[in-house]
Structures are given as C-alpha cells and as structure tokens.
Structure 1
Amino acid sequence: MTHVVVRIVRIKKMQNSTEVVSFVLSAYGNIGNLKYLYFSIILLWYSSICVSNTILNVVIYKDRGLHEPMYLLLGNLFMNEISTSTSLYPLLLSQMFSDTHEVTLPWCFLQMFCIYTCSCVQLCSLTAMAYDRYVCICYPLYYNVFMSNRRVGKIILLVWIYSFTSYMFSFSFILPLKFCGNVIDKVFCDQQLIIKLACSVSALTSISDLFFGFMSLILPLSLIFVSYIKILWVCLIVSKESKQKVLTTCTPQIVSLANIFAYATFHFVGSRVDIRYISDKIRVILSLYIHILQPMITPFMYGLYLPKIRQSCKRLLFDRK
C-alpha cells in the first residue's frame, strides 16, 4: 500500500516557495470495489459504538441508584469513547470513496487534536477511576467524604481541562511548521508522522512532544500503578469474599489499561523505529486496533461485567411495567 501513486498533490505557490495545503493518507492504497464492503463494516461498527455507549449513559442517567461516583466516572468514560470514535470514523468513512485520499491541513490538524486530546482524557479518566477504587477499598469509612458526587463533577471537569491544556501546549508548536512532504503512511493524521514531514523541527517542538507523552501517558500510568499496588496490598489481608468484590470492580479497568498500554508501546516504537518489515495491512490494523476495540471493550466490560449496570440495563430495556 505504501507504493501507491499519488496522482494529485495540491500545493499553493507563494513567491519563491511552495506551501503544502493538504496531506495524502497513503495507507488506504487501492481498495477497488472492496470499498463498499469496508464502508458497510466500518459504518456498522461506528454505529454500534455510539449506540452501546449512549445506552449505558442513558441507563446511568435514568437510574438514580447509579448516581454514585464510580458510575458518574464511567458515564464520562462512555462519553469519551463516543468522542474518540467520532474524531476518527467519519473521516475514515469519507476516505473510502476518495481516489486521492487527500485531507486538508485544517481538517488533518482538527482530527489530530481531537484524537490526542480524547486519548489523554481516556487515561486521565482511568486514573480518576483507579483513585476512586483506591479510596473505596483502602479508606471505606472516608469514601463519602473524599468522593462525593460534587467532587466527582469537579474531577471530571479537571480531567478535560488537563487533557486540553496538555495537548494544546504540544499542538501550538506543530501549527507553525512548514512541510516539505505531504504523504502520511496511515489512514488517519498522526502527529509523529506529520512532524517527520516538517522541513525543520526545533528543539522546542521535540521537547513539547515529549512533554505531552509524559503528561498524557507516563504520569497517569504511574498514578494508576501506585493506586493498584495499594489496592493489591489491601487485598492480601482481607477476606476471600472481599477479594472477589475487589476483583469484580477492578478487572474492567485492568483490561482497558492492558489494551491501552499495548497500543501505546506499538505507537511509540512504530513512530520512531523503522518497522517496514511488517506488512502494510498488519501495520494499518495495529495502528487502528485501539480505536476499533477499545470503544467496544469499554461498554462490554462495564455494561455486562458490573452487576448493578447489568441489572439496570435489563430493567430499562426489557422491563415494561
């Protein structure tokens, strides 16, 4: 797919230089008549993500018994899954019927901003949920003091402000870049590949990129790790019944974190190391799998695994009394 011939490259001439005004997403390649099949599958998948996450948000909103800190944090996570998918899938669907797979700079930057901000929100939300479980399990008598609904609302607001400002700092150094190429070997706009296309990259741009990596990945994962180490320590001294309860509430978060960590590792290595020995199709799938699986894993794990949400779903969807 990387050998695809770019037939149209739009540039704007300005005096003695040229300015790239669009990027070409070359990883689509020539999919021929399969585009109709791919379009149908992607549309069905995107619709399923939106419907499943929306249903769970409605369940939490309707059932007053779920108006508790943990479920309010889950509602924020479900909403973010819809936002993350919306930042990717509409452009993905539109590119299925494009011959050149071009994306203008503003749309490419907008997609990149939304994807990276929502990714940061996701990890920060999981950090808040890990802290919630830590307080609940390690300090149950003080749980209502530390984790009131009002405080959870402030935490959710802080998560979004933190994610927005963290990425905005890195994003502000990318906007002024001038590009000497416009072919991105992916099906969406990726920050690392866009930086590689720049004619020159300042030290501040590289530092800001590392800063965002620390703020959005290293710091949240470290806080989550500390929280679960303390939870594990408490599990070693509690009864078997209490251990089962802890595992029930923490397992979905651990599965989500393992999935995110695996993708983050591939994304970090793939963006900085030459992995052309991996086939094009596998690289495309690996670059997308977090956006394909995670938005469906989240409602499945929390919606079907947690008893209170499962029971509320049954009452809302099937109880007609």
Structure 2
Amino acid sequence: MENNTFPQYFNLTMFVKLGNYRYLAFVLCLLLYAFIIFSNLVIIVLISREITLHEPMYIFIMCLSINSLYGSAGFFFRFLRDLLSDTHLISRTACFAQIYVIYTYASYEMTLLGIMAYDRYVAICQPLNYHNKITSKAVSKLVAFAWTYPCFSIATCVYLSFRLPLCGNKIPKVFCANWPVVKLSCVSTVINNLVGMVALITTVFLPLAFVMFTYIRIILICRKRSSEFKSKVVQNCLPHIVTFVIYSSTVFCDVALSRIDLEALNPFLAIILALEFVVIPPMVNPLVYGLKLAEIRKCVLKVFLRSEPVKTN
C-alpha cells in the first residue's frame, strides 16, 4: 500500500478568505468561547458547592455542562488558530483526535438527555417510587453508562476510519468529521457504514425515541391531572425540552449538511450551519437551565449579590 494513501495532513476547505476581517471574527469567536467556558463553569461550581443542588436532576445538568466544556474545547482551540492562519492543514493524528472528541461530545449529549428524560419520567409518572429508583447508586450507574458506551462505540468508528486508505485529503468543513473522511476512501467502506449506523442508532436514535416516549407518557398523565400539577410539570420539564429540541435540530442540520454538496451553498451559510452543531448547545444549555430552574437561579443571585444562603424546602 503506497504511503500517499495515508495522507499526513488534511485540508479543511470550508474556510473563506476574510482578509482583515479575520481578526474581528477571531475576537468575536474568542468572546463566544469565553462565554461558553464562564457560563458552564458557573453551573458546575454552583451545583458542586451547593448542598441543596445535590439531587439527580442537577447532577445531570452538571454533566451536561462538563460535556459542553469538553466538546467546545475540542472545536474552538483548533478553530481559533485556523481563523488567523492562511493555510488550514491539520495533521492526520490531530484530525482523528478531533473527530473522536467532537463525536463523543455529540453522543454524550444525547445519552445524557436520555437519562434526564428517564429521571423526569419517574419523578412525574411514578413519584412514590422516585427515591427508590433514582438513588445515588442508580445516578452513578446511569452517568457511567452515558459516558462509557459512546466512548467505545465512537472509538471503534474512528479506528476503522483511521485504517482506510484515502484518495484525497480535502475535508469540506471547518473541523474534522468522520463521514467526509470516509468518503475519501479508495476501498469499500461497507464495514465502516455498518458500524457507523449501529453507533448512530444506539447513541442518537434510541435516546431520541426514548425521550419522545417518556414525554408522550408524561403528556398522557398530565391530561388527567389538575392545572396546578400541569404547571409544575411544565416548569420542571421545559428546560429539558428546550435543550433537547435545540440539540436535535443542530444534529439534524449537521447530518443534512454532510449529505449535500457544500460547494453549491453560500460559503458563509455553510460555515454557520457547520458551526451551530458545536457552538449553540454549549452556549444555550447553561442559559436555559440557569434562567428556568428556580433553584439554580437563586444560587446564581446569591453568589453575585453576596446575599445570605437561600433556604429551600
């Protein structure tokens, strides 16, 4: 096998020539990344320090924020550097490392949203059994599964892609992605496609179907209950629903974007559609939970206003 079938560098071709505007773009993106770090760190620190927030729902929210920091780091460190560079070559090793980080981030997000839906389902539909089912041990197992399974499934996909002999090195994105690399293959990719489909179904579609199932059950329960009960359910579930809808929409856009001819799109539109997958969820999640959940909002106000500790029932 010739060495040129395993290129040492990939070329990210979606970057457009911004001229002197690249410095403005760099500053804006740097500020955006700083906001993502700050807002998610606030959520993590508050939940870890406030005893009143040491409950399953808040632990899952903290895991989402940790995942946001993980995924955004895998993207922004390289992206900010490329904004100031005239060339957009990335080494083979760095490219596959970025693929692994971004894809595990995406999978973690969906599996975490799935177990959060289960938590809300038990709390609303089986309230008398909630503390028996959602114990500290159960939370630990659910979080461990949400992190462990995607870790190995994505590693398998990336390993199979890494072994493929390639007939090119151009990736039409602003970050490395698995499907564009697989499309460069000089040989059959049947195994890659099968393994990728299994990983996609188990880490995206199954959690997606489970979330939809839990909320259908919750809606059916709410139909028979009082207006006050419905109001409490909406207050508790709305942040999760908003997060889930936003993330599902960005994933859909990214999948659709990888299946179309990007050269036919306006380059700025193509970049925006590519960026939303790794930018919007980490930016929006802490805002949604920080503004919508009363306990987190109280703790934020307590920290910034330096008030006395807030007592909760």
Which TM-score band applies after superposition, normalised by the shorter structure?
Answer: over 0.9
Shift of 1:100: 1.3
Aligned Cα root-mean-square deviation (Å)? 1.5
Runs of 4+ in 1 over 6 A off after TM superposition: none
How far, CA to CA, are the matches of 1:96 and 1:277 in structure 2?
22
Secondary structure (helix, strand or coil) at the match of 2:6 reads strand
Q: Which amino acid aligns with 2:288?
A: M
Q: Take 1:57 and 1:82, find their aligned partners in 2: how far apart are those partners? A: 10
1:151 aligns with 2:133: no
Q: Aligned runs of 1:88-107 on 2, under 5 Å?
A: 88-107=75-94
Partner of 1:232: 219
Shift in Å, 1:273: 3.2
- Using the TM superposition, give the Cα deviation of residue 269 of structure 1 relative to its aligned residue in structure 2, in angstroms: 2.3
CA contact (8 A) 2:16 2:267 kept: no
Question: Does structure 2 conserve the Cα–Cα contact (< 8 Å) formed by 1:195 and 1:201?
Answer: no
What 5-or-longer segments of structure 2 have no aligned partner?
309-313
Superposition pairs for residues 264-303 of structure 1, below 5 Å? 264-274=251-261, 276-303=263-290
- Normalised to the residue count of structure 2, the TM-score between the two structures is 0.94
After superposition, give the CA deviation of every residue in 1:35-54 in whole Å (9 maximum; x if it has no partner).
11111111111111011100
Deviation at 1:272, TM superposition (A): 2.2
| Residue 309, structure 1, aligned to residue 296, structure 2 | yes
Preserved CA contact (<8 Å) 1:131 1:227: yes
- In 2 relative to 1, CA 17–245 (structure 1 residues): closer, same or farther, beyond 3 Å? closer
Alpha-carbon spacing, 1:281–1:15, altered in 2? closer, same or farther (3 Å): closer
CA shift digits 1:153-181 (9 cap, x unpaired) = 22111110011112122222111011111
1:44 maps to 2:31: yes
Deviation at 1:255, TM superposition (A): 1.4
CA contact (8 A) 2:254 2:277 kept: no
Q: Which residue of 2 aligns with 1:141?
A: 128
| 1:33-112 equivalence runs, <5 A | 33-112=20-99
Cα deviation for residue 289 of structure 1 reads 1.0
Aligned length: 308
The answer on whether the counterparts of 1:259 and 1:290 sit within 8 Å (CA) in structure 2 is no
Percent of matched pairs sharing the same residue: 32
Per-residue CA deviations over 1:90-149 (Å, capped at 9, x if unaligned) read 000111122111000100000110000011000000001000000000010110011112
Higher normalized contact order (CA 8 Å, seq sep 6+, divided by chain length): 2
TM-score normalised to structure 1 length: 0.92
Check 1:283–1:15 CA distance in 2 against 1; reply closer, same or farther (3 A cut): closer
CA distance in 2, matches of 1:191, 1:219: 21
